[in-house]
Structure 1
Amino acid sequence: MSDAVGEFAAFIDATLPADHAERLDHYRHDDRLRADYQVAAFEAGWLVPEWEPELGGHGLSPLDALAVRIEGARRQTPRTLNVQGVGVVAPALRRFGTAEQRERLLVPVLRGEQWWALGMSEPGSGSDLASLRTTARRDGDVFVVSGQKIWTTQAHQSRWCTLYVRTDPDAPRHAGISCLILDLHAPGVDIRPIRRAAESVDAFCEVFLDDVRVPAANLLGPEGQGWRVATESLAHERDMIWINNWVDVERSLAPVLAGELAPDLAARAGRLLADAEALRFTGLRTVLRRTAGAPVPEFFVLKLLGSEAAQAAAQLALDVHGLTSPALFDDLVESLGATIYGGTSEIQRDLIGEKVLGLPRDR
């Protein structure tokens, strides 16, 4: 165990309740604990451990930071209340934000003081960001934005949104997109929550934009470079997704493997054990290759394999034990979103075909 992992484990022991592991089903819904843990982790440098100390990190190497994240996932540390804020928005602000944007917005999102939404998906587009139709027309020192977003997680609870818009309708699909920092309290923004299937599912919203005026100073990254902003910031989120998926598979399988299984259930469990190991080794290989500056084609496989394995493991646990525990049903319902958030499985298969296998696009 590296010194960093040992220090982080000691931080967890000192910060979380002594019965956290035993009463996980209770604490996972304790919003006060989750908020307090995020602040404590930020102040101690464990929220973004690879970042420089002045931004709340420890300056760890990618491998040490990975080890810390795996330890956190195994210990099931409280998930941040506004996951996309830390996982996607903060890396985008750090990488593409102006000095003024970073000074004003970065620490509040890391501490969980200001929540953020991601304005990506649109009706008829889903995870295909390049097909977005929301427009932003330049009018002096503002952009005038019109369009609609959907499946916008926590928009009704958030103050800000990284809004992806088409600023150049004549440019190629990927080249005419820009990212704007949208104040969700601005005139012309209409947010409508979508009914949820269960309390364990994050809150989604529709967001309607009717001639919303966004200051040009709120452009995140260069104009026309929104595709780059999105792909680079989502890469940070997907590192955590595969780790959490791997741990979720192992956690779902633990009670399944504790007893005797019928042959068909044993076969399903065996395949999932193999998937979990494949996910772990593939994830480790991507970090090593990225650290060495080498191409990382495996990256595109991780999200697909991990989300589908986590979903299958939750279903198997419920099939084996039935509704003996409400937590098993909650786990299954929560896992249903795994093949949607961070890019749907259909889009992941398109990316694998295009980026890994070199297959031609059909459009």
Structure 2
Amino acid sequence: MSKVPLTPMLVQYLTALCCLRCNPDAVDITIGEMVEDEAAESTRDVDVTVTIKDSDSVTDAFMAYEVKHERSALDVAKVEALCLKLNDMPSITHRVIVSTSGFSPTAQKKAARHGVELYQLKEWTRPLQEQFPLLEMTGTVSERFPRQKWLLTWNDYRFALVSSAAQGPFAVESKGQALDQHGKPHGKYSSFEDFWNELLLRSTEVLYCLEPADTVLRTFPLTPSDAPGEPPAAGPQWPHTHTLDVSADGVYFTNSDTFCRIDTVTINGFLRWERSRTPPAYVIERLSDGQAFAGALVSPGERPGQMIAFVFSPTSRDIGIEFVQLSEAHQNAIRQLKLEYKAGSVWT
């Protein structure tokens, strides 16, 4: 799973979406739930919890999922620590560990001893009829759900800056420190290069659906190719200019001992469409028997904490379509974030 282009928080969120799709009757699905730890006599964070109640409003199941996104297989020490943590929470009725990198043989034995189920988030390659028979499809998910992703990009560009407070001509170094109105390091952009990258992305988010970008994409379709080592396909480029009002960003620089705000930025250069690699497909399988818990087609966004996910359940023909943008506060740790079930697309 070293190729997974997802952050730990997005993996955690994706696991929660899979729980949501597989438990449409759940009354509560929370990412970062605080659960009572009997031994510690305090509450502790659990990555994903699922609460299911019967018709009499009595809790029938309180499932806990610990999600780990690491480079190497989880060893016995890490799994033992997670097992002890979950087992000290008596309110939990079902305990699960999900890993993107698998588990060592001794870790698997330790989990079995403690009654904790193990699941792995892995590349989805098995035929659909083996794990998702209700879809009534043969072949792999890549064959039956072909996906392509196009990106509008700036090339050979330069920036023209306007600051009403500047005294005469000025220049800003890309590696220089972006400042706030008090002359301190900017809270969001550590350098002007970070700010320029944000503006390039912000610009293409506006221009991709406008002319002439839309006509160019339809007139010059990009040839699909995912051959190893082969660069993504790119279409013809065209000259363009785009001016952005950036005064609300509050980015300042020094000019003649004065702090000057950048008011507008004009990007001059060439635009073109590029085809990126095919977005990944994942499946969560139970380690003991390879049974699928859920599958997902994922398209990570260009911004941190962003993705689109199509989520499949082996017990339903419904396909959940989810658009995710984590807030800055949730990109490093998610706490008390509840998900709600929404009906997805139905294949008939």
| TM interval, short-chain normalised | under 0.3
Larger Cα-atom Rg:
2
* TM-score, with structure 1 as normaliser: 0.22
Higher helix share: 1
Higher strand share: 2
Higher relative contact order (CA 8 A, sep 6+): 2
* TM-score, with structure 2 as normaliser: 0.23
